[in-house]
Protein backbone atom coordinates (compact mmCIF):
# COMPACT_ATOMS: atom_id res chain seq x y z
CA UNK A 1 0.00 0.00 0.00
CA UNK A 2 2.82 2.39 0.90
CA UNK A 3 4.60 1.47 -2.32
CA UNK A 4 1.44 2.21 -4.32
CA UNK A 5 0.99 5.56 -2.60
CA UNK A 6 4.63 6.38 -3.27
CA UNK A 7 4.21 5.45 -6.94
CA UNK A 8 1.11 7.63 -7.25
CA UNK A 9 2.92 10.56 -5.65
CA UNK A 10 5.93 10.07 -7.91
CA UNK A 11 3.78 9.97 -11.06
CA UNK A 12 1.80 12.99 -9.88
CA UNK A 13 5.07 14.82 -9.29
CA UNK A 14 6.30 13.94 -12.75
CA UNK A 15 3.04 15.18 -14.31
CA UNK A 16 3.30 18.37 -12.28
CA UNK A 17 6.89 18.95 -13.38
CA UNK A 18 5.98 18.23 -17.00
CA UNK A 19 3.11 20.71 -16.81
CA UNK A 20 5.39 23.34 -15.30
CA UNK A 21 7.94 22.72 -18.02
CA UNK A 22 5.25 23.04 -20.68
CA UNK A 23 4.04 26.31 -19.15
CA UNK A 24 7.53 27.77 -18.96
CA UNK A 25 8.26 26.92 -22.60
CA UNK A 26 4.89 28.06 -23.91
CA UNK A 27 6.00 31.58 -24.76
CA UNK A 28 9.61 30.82 -25.67
CA UNK A 29 9.65 31.97 -29.27
CA UNK A 30 13.02 32.24 -31.00
CA UNK A 31 14.31 35.27 -32.85
CA UNK A 32 12.58 36.05 -36.13
CA UNK A 33 15.68 37.78 -37.51
CA UNK A 34 16.95 34.76 -39.43
CA UNK A 35 13.60 33.31 -40.48
CA UNK A 36 12.78 32.98 -44.18
CA UNK A 37 9.33 34.42 -43.42
CA UNK A 38 8.12 36.93 -40.82
CA UNK A 39 4.60 37.79 -39.71
CA UNK A 40 3.54 41.39 -39.12
CA UNK A 41 0.46 42.10 -37.01
CA UNK A 42 -1.69 45.08 -37.98
CA UNK A 43 -5.08 46.76 -37.83
CA UNK A 44 -6.03 46.51 -41.51
CA UNK A 45 -8.32 49.55 -41.31
CA UNK A 46 -5.66 52.07 -40.26
CA UNK A 47 -5.30 54.46 -43.19
CA UNK A 48 -2.85 55.35 -44.61
CA UNK A 49 -0.44 53.08 -42.70
CA UNK A 50 -1.95 49.66 -43.39
CA UNK A 51 -5.41 49.12 -44.85
CA UNK A 52 -7.35 47.40 -47.63
CA UNK A 53 -7.96 49.15 -50.92
CA UNK A 54 -11.20 48.94 -52.94
CA UNK A 55 -10.10 45.53 -54.25
CA UNK A 56 -9.47 44.20 -50.75
CA UNK A 57 -5.69 44.22 -51.12
CA UNK A 58 -3.47 45.39 -48.27
CA UNK A 59 -1.67 48.64 -48.98
CA UNK A 60 -0.33 51.68 -47.16
CA UNK A 61 2.82 53.42 -45.99
CA UNK A 62 3.79 50.80 -43.41
CA UNK A 63 3.01 47.96 -45.81
CA UNK A 64 5.35 49.36 -48.47
CA UNK A 65 8.02 50.35 -45.94
CA UNK A 66 8.11 46.95 -44.25
CA UNK A 67 8.11 45.13 -47.60
CA UNK A 68 11.03 47.24 -48.81
CA UNK A 69 13.02 46.53 -45.65
CA UNK A 70 12.59 42.77 -45.79
CA UNK A 71 13.19 42.69 -49.54
CA UNK A 72 16.74 43.74 -48.67
CA UNK A 73 17.30 40.28 -47.17
CA UNK A 74 14.91 38.30 -49.40
CA UNK A 75 12.62 37.69 -46.43
CA UNK A 76 8.98 36.88 -47.14
CA UNK A 77 6.45 39.01 -45.26
CA UNK A 78 2.99 37.87 -44.20
CA UNK A 79 0.53 40.41 -42.81
CA UNK A 80 -1.81 39.21 -40.09
CA UNK A 81 -4.85 41.37 -39.19
CA UNK A 82 -5.33 41.32 -35.42
CA UNK A 83 -7.60 42.82 -32.79
CA UNK A 84 -5.65 45.94 -31.88
CA UNK A 85 -6.44 45.71 -28.18
CA UNK A 86 -4.74 42.26 -28.14
CA UNK A 87 -1.62 43.19 -30.14
CA UNK A 88 0.96 42.69 -27.38
CA UNK A 89 -0.60 39.36 -26.40
CA UNK A 90 -0.44 38.19 -30.03
CA UNK A 91 3.23 39.18 -30.12
CA UNK A 92 4.02 37.47 -26.84
CA UNK A 93 2.43 34.15 -27.78
CA UNK A 94 4.21 34.02 -31.15
CA UNK A 95 1.19 34.49 -33.42
CA UNK A 96 3.02 37.45 -34.95
CA UNK A 97 6.69 38.48 -35.00
CA UNK A 98 6.19 42.24 -34.81
CA UNK A 99 3.62 45.02 -34.51
CA UNK A 100 3.99 47.45 -37.39
CA UNK A 101 1.02 49.70 -38.10
CA UNK A 102 1.26 53.27 -36.85
CA UNK A 103 2.39 51.83 -33.51
CA UNK A 104 3.24 54.63 -31.08
CA UNK A 105 6.12 54.24 -28.65
CA UNK A 106 4.89 54.79 -25.08
CA UNK A 107 6.26 54.13 -21.61
CA UNK A 108 3.58 51.51 -20.94
CA UNK A 109 4.32 49.69 -24.16
CA UNK A 110 8.07 49.74 -23.58
CA UNK A 111 7.43 47.48 -20.59
CA UNK A 112 5.94 44.88 -22.94
CA UNK A 113 7.84 45.17 -26.22
CA UNK A 114 11.22 46.14 -27.63
CA UNK A 115 10.95 49.06 -30.05
CA UNK A 116 12.88 49.74 -33.23
CA UNK A 117 14.21 53.19 -34.04
CA UNK A 118 11.53 55.83 -34.57
CA UNK A 119 10.66 56.39 -38.22
CA UNK A 120 7.76 58.87 -38.07
CA UNK A 121 6.09 61.39 -35.76
CA UNK A 122 2.39 61.72 -34.90
CA UNK A 123 0.01 63.83 -32.82
CA UNK A 124 -3.37 63.14 -31.26
CA UNK A 125 -6.27 65.28 -32.49
CA UNK A 126 -9.84 65.87 -31.41
CA UNK A 127 -12.13 65.66 -34.45
CA UNK A 128 -15.60 67.19 -34.24
CA UNK A 129 -18.29 67.99 -36.85
CA UNK A 130 -18.26 71.68 -37.74
CA UNK A 131 -22.02 71.67 -37.20
CA UNK A 132 -21.41 70.89 -33.51
CA UNK A 133 -19.71 74.21 -32.83
CA UNK A 134 -17.06 72.37 -30.78
CA UNK A 135 -13.75 74.00 -31.64
CA UNK A 136 -11.73 73.49 -28.45
CA UNK A 137 -11.27 70.80 -25.83
CA UNK A 138 -13.15 72.72 -23.13
CA UNK A 139 -16.30 72.59 -25.27
CA UNK A 140 -16.37 68.79 -24.82
CA UNK A 141 -17.65 69.22 -21.26
CA UNK A 142 -20.52 66.78 -20.80
CA UNK A 143 -20.16 65.54 -24.39
CA UNK A 144 -19.64 62.00 -25.67
CA UNK A 145 -16.12 61.12 -26.80
CA UNK A 146 -14.96 58.20 -28.93
CA UNK A 147 -11.54 56.49 -29.06
CA UNK A 148 -10.00 53.27 -30.34
CA UNK A 149 -9.61 50.50 -27.80
CA UNK A 150 -5.95 49.80 -27.06
CA UNK A 151 -4.77 52.95 -28.86
CA UNK A 152 -2.04 55.25 -27.61
CA UNK A 153 -4.57 58.07 -27.71
CA UNK A 154 -6.83 56.29 -25.25
CA UNK A 155 -3.87 55.51 -22.99
CA UNK A 156 -2.86 59.17 -22.97
CA UNK A 157 -6.49 60.17 -22.37
CA UNK A 158 -6.39 58.10 -19.16
CA UNK A 159 -2.89 59.15 -18.12
CA UNK A 160 -3.63 62.87 -18.44
CA UNK A 161 -7.27 63.07 -17.28
CA UNK A 162 -7.21 66.82 -16.73
CA UNK A 163 -6.97 67.43 -20.49
CA UNK A 164 -10.18 65.68 -21.53
CA UNK A 165 -11.20 62.69 -19.41
CA UNK A 166 -12.40 64.70 -16.41
CA UNK A 167 -14.84 66.74 -18.50
CA UNK A 168 -16.46 64.33 -20.97
CA UNK A 169 -19.70 62.46 -20.40
CA UNK A 170 -19.17 59.63 -17.90
CA UNK A 171 -15.50 60.59 -17.56
CA UNK A 172 -14.66 58.01 -20.18
CA UNK A 173 -14.74 57.38 -23.92
CA UNK A 174 -16.86 55.06 -26.02
CA UNK A 175 -14.37 52.50 -27.35
CA UNK A 176 -14.24 51.12 -30.88
CA UNK A 177 -12.31 48.26 -32.45
CA UNK A 178 -11.37 50.54 -35.37
CA UNK A 179 -11.48 54.21 -36.26
CA UNK A 180 -13.72 53.35 -39.21
CA UNK A 181 -16.46 52.34 -36.79
CA UNK A 182 -15.82 55.43 -34.68
CA UNK A 183 -16.20 57.75 -37.67
CA UNK A 184 -19.55 56.15 -38.54
CA UNK A 185 -20.84 57.01 -35.07
CA UNK A 186 -19.33 60.51 -35.26
CA UNK A 187 -21.03 61.15 -38.60
CA UNK A 188 -24.35 59.95 -37.20
CA UNK A 189 -24.16 61.98 -34.02
CA UNK A 190 -23.80 59.07 -31.59
CA UNK A 191 -20.60 60.66 -30.27
CA UNK A 192 -19.65 64.34 -30.28
CA UNK A 193 -15.90 64.08 -30.74
CA UNK A 194 -13.23 61.54 -31.63
CA UNK A 195 -9.70 61.34 -30.23
CA UNK A 196 -7.59 60.07 -33.09
CA UNK A 197 -4.14 60.03 -34.71
CA UNK A 198 -3.51 63.04 -36.94
CA UNK A 199 -2.14 60.86 -39.73
CA UNK A 200 -5.37 58.83 -39.85
CA UNK A 201 -7.77 61.78 -39.52
CA UNK A 202 -6.17 63.89 -42.24
CA UNK A 203 -5.87 61.03 -44.72
CA UNK A 204 -9.34 59.63 -44.09
CA UNK A 205 -11.17 62.96 -44.29
CA UNK A 206 -9.20 64.10 -47.33
CA UNK A 207 -9.70 60.84 -49.23
CA UNK A 208 -13.45 60.83 -48.49
CA UNK A 209 -13.86 64.49 -49.43
CA UNK A 210 -15.14 65.37 -45.95
CA UNK A 211 -12.24 67.44 -44.64
CA UNK A 212 -14.23 70.69 -44.81
CA UNK A 213 -17.02 69.18 -42.68
CA UNK A 214 -14.90 68.63 -39.58
CA UNK A 215 -12.78 70.52 -37.07
CA UNK A 216 -9.31 69.07 -36.44
CA UNK A 217 -8.36 70.39 -33.02
CA UNK A 218 -4.76 70.04 -31.84
CA UNK A 219 -4.31 68.53 -28.39
CA UNK A 220 -1.80 69.44 -25.71
CA UNK A 221 -0.72 65.81 -25.49
CA UNK A 222 2.93 65.12 -26.22
CA UNK A 223 4.07 64.28 -29.72
CA UNK A 224 4.17 60.54 -30.42
CA UNK A 225 6.78 58.48 -32.24
CA UNK A 226 5.89 55.60 -34.56
CA UNK A 227 8.15 52.57 -34.30
CA UNK A 228 8.06 48.79 -34.78
CA UNK A 229 7.42 46.59 -31.75
CA UNK A 230 9.13 43.18 -31.40
CA UNK A 231 9.41 40.73 -28.53
CA UNK A 232 11.53 41.96 -25.63
CA UNK A 233 14.18 39.28 -26.20
CA UNK A 234 14.43 39.73 -29.98
CA UNK A 235 17.15 42.36 -30.23
CA UNK A 236 18.40 40.71 -33.43
CA UNK A 237 15.11 41.47 -35.21
CA UNK A 238 15.08 45.07 -33.94
CA UNK A 239 18.65 45.48 -35.23
CA UNK A 240 17.64 44.07 -38.61
CA UNK A 241 14.74 46.53 -38.90
CA UNK A 242 16.95 49.44 -37.82
CA UNK A 243 19.58 48.53 -40.40
CA UNK A 244 16.88 48.37 -43.06
CA UNK A 245 15.44 51.74 -42.08
CA UNK A 246 18.91 53.28 -42.30
CA UNK A 247 19.60 51.77 -45.71
CA UNK A 248 16.25 52.93 -47.13
CA UNK A 249 16.91 56.42 -45.77
CA UNK A 250 20.32 56.50 -47.44
CA UNK A 251 19.25 55.12 -50.83
CA UNK A 252 16.18 57.36 -51.13
CA UNK A 253 13.52 54.64 -50.93
CA UNK A 254 12.14 55.96 -47.64
CA UNK A 255 11.66 59.40 -49.20
CA UNK A 256 9.94 57.91 -52.27
CA UNK A 257 7.45 55.98 -50.15
CA UNK A 258 6.70 58.99 -47.95
CA UNK A 259 6.19 61.20 -51.01
CA UNK A 260 3.72 58.70 -52.43
CA UNK A 261 1.60 58.49 -49.28
CA UNK A 262 1.96 61.93 -47.72
CA UNK A 263 2.99 64.21 -50.56
CA UNK A 264 6.16 65.22 -48.74
CA UNK A 265 9.58 63.86 -48.00
CA UNK A 266 9.73 62.60 -44.43
CA UNK A 267 13.09 62.71 -42.71
CA UNK A 268 13.35 59.59 -40.60
CA UNK A 269 13.89 60.50 -36.98
CA UNK A 270 16.79 58.48 -35.65
CA UNK A 271 17.84 57.83 -32.07
pLDDT at position 34: 85
Confidence of residue 263 (pLDDT cuts 50, 70, 90): confident
Confidence of residue 31 (pLDDT cuts 50, 70, 90): confident
Residue 222 has pLDDT above 50, yes or no: yes
| Averaged pLDDT for residues 115-121 | 96
Say what percent of the chain tops pLDDT 70. Answer: 86
Q: What is the pLDDT of residues 224-235, one digit of tens each?
A: 999 999 999 999
Nearest of 226, 225, 205 to residue 216 by alpha carbon: 205
Residue 187 has pLDDT above 70, yes or no: yes
Residue 267 has pLDDT above 70, yes or no: no
pLDDT at position 28: 58
Residue 110 has pLDDT above 80, yes or no: yes
Q: What is the pLDDT of residues 10-21, one digit of tens each?
A: 333 433 333 334
pLDDT at position 266: 52
pLDDT at position 29: 59
Q: What is the pLDDT of residues 142-181, one digit of tens each?
A: 999 999 999 999 999 999 999 999 999 999 999 999 999 9
Confidence of residue 6 (pLDDT cuts 50, 70, 90): very low
| Averaged pLDDT for residues 179-185 | 96
pLDDT at position 20: 39
Q: What are phi and psi of 58, to 5 degrees?
A: -70, 135
pLDDT at position 206: 92
Please state which of the ranges 7-11, 72-76, 151-155 shows the lowest mean pLDDT: 7-11
Amino acid sequence: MKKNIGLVLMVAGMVSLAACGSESNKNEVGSAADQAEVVIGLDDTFVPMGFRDKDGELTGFDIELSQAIFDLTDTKVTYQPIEWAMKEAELDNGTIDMIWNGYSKTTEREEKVLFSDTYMENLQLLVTPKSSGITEFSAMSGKKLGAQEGSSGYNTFNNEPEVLKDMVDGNDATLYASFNEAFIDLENGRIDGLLIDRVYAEYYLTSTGKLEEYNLIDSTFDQEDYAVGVRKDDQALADKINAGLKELQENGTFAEISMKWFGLFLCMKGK
